[in-house]
Amino acid sequence: MNSLFQSASPEAPLAERLRPKTLDEVVGQSHLLGANKPLRLAFQSGKLPSMILWGPPGVGKTTLARLIANTADADFIPISAVLSGIKDIREAVERAELTLQQHGRKTILFVDEVHRFNKGQQDAFLPFVESGLITFIGATTENPSFEVNSALLSRAQVFVLNALSEPELALLLERARLLVAGNISFSD
């Protein structure tokens, strides 16, 4: 089994080296990932819905989306609403179609900062979410009820990610300390 400390190269940034590789390594979000909780049950059933991950910066929205794709053995296509447009959405859909045809694999399309897309751009996902070609995962720091259009919102489940607690942050700091073999000291 992969360990928390095995896959990233020693030259990678510390945050990348600390990134969880399995659901059990995720710190926080026990209300979603704990035993018999919504995302854990979805993982176990193999039936992942399209979803919106809503929470403050740094709580693991992108990491969770990647873990979902890895667990589901799905192709993972990340796009940023800040840097992308309709052309990028079309390219992602074409790749999803090709992946399904050639390899029989589903695609998870991850849209970071989904609230930055306008209504027309958000509408572009609808036919592909409805057909099941893609499983849509949007990440946002803004309330999706106000920032994601109702058509897309009605086709996705919203999961609220919480800020990490002090004990959870302490656990991450301890993991970092162990990772760098005691070369960093932490104080309150």
CATH number at residue 82: 3.40.50.300
- Cα–Cα distance measured from residue 12 to residue 132, given in angstroms and rounded to the nearest whole number: 36
pLDDT, average across residues 64-72: 88
Count of structural domains, the chain: 1
- Residue 34 inside a domain? The answer is no
- Residue 72 inside a domain? The answer is yes
Determine the pLDDT at residue 8. 61
Judge contact between 165 and 28, C-beta under 8 A: yes
Determine the pLDDT at residue 102. 96
pLDDT class of 28 with cuts at 50, 70, 90: very high
Q: Is the pLDDT of residue 67 over 60?
A: yes
The string of pLDDT tens digits covering residues 35-51 is 999 999 988 887 889 99
111 bridge partner residues = 79, 138
Residue spans of beta strands (DSSP E) within 21-180:
51-54, 75-80, 107-112, 134-140, 157-160
Residue 124: CB partners within 8 Å, gap ≥ 6?
Answer: 86, 89, 90
- Residue 122 inside a domain? The answer is yes
Q: Is the pLDDT of residue 184 over 60?
A: no
Residue 174: CB partners within 8 Å, gap ≥ 6?
Answer: none
- Residue 121 inside a domain? The answer is yes
Q: Which residue has the tokens 């942050």?
A: 169
Range of the domain at 163: 49-177
Sign of torsion, CA 86 91 93 94?
positive
Instruction: Express as a percent the part of the chain with pLDDT over 70.
Output: 90
Q: Is the pLDDT of residue 188 over 70?
A: no
Q: Is the pLDDT of residue 2 over 50?
A: no
- Residue 154 inside a domain? The answer is yes
Determine the pLDDT at residue 183. 52
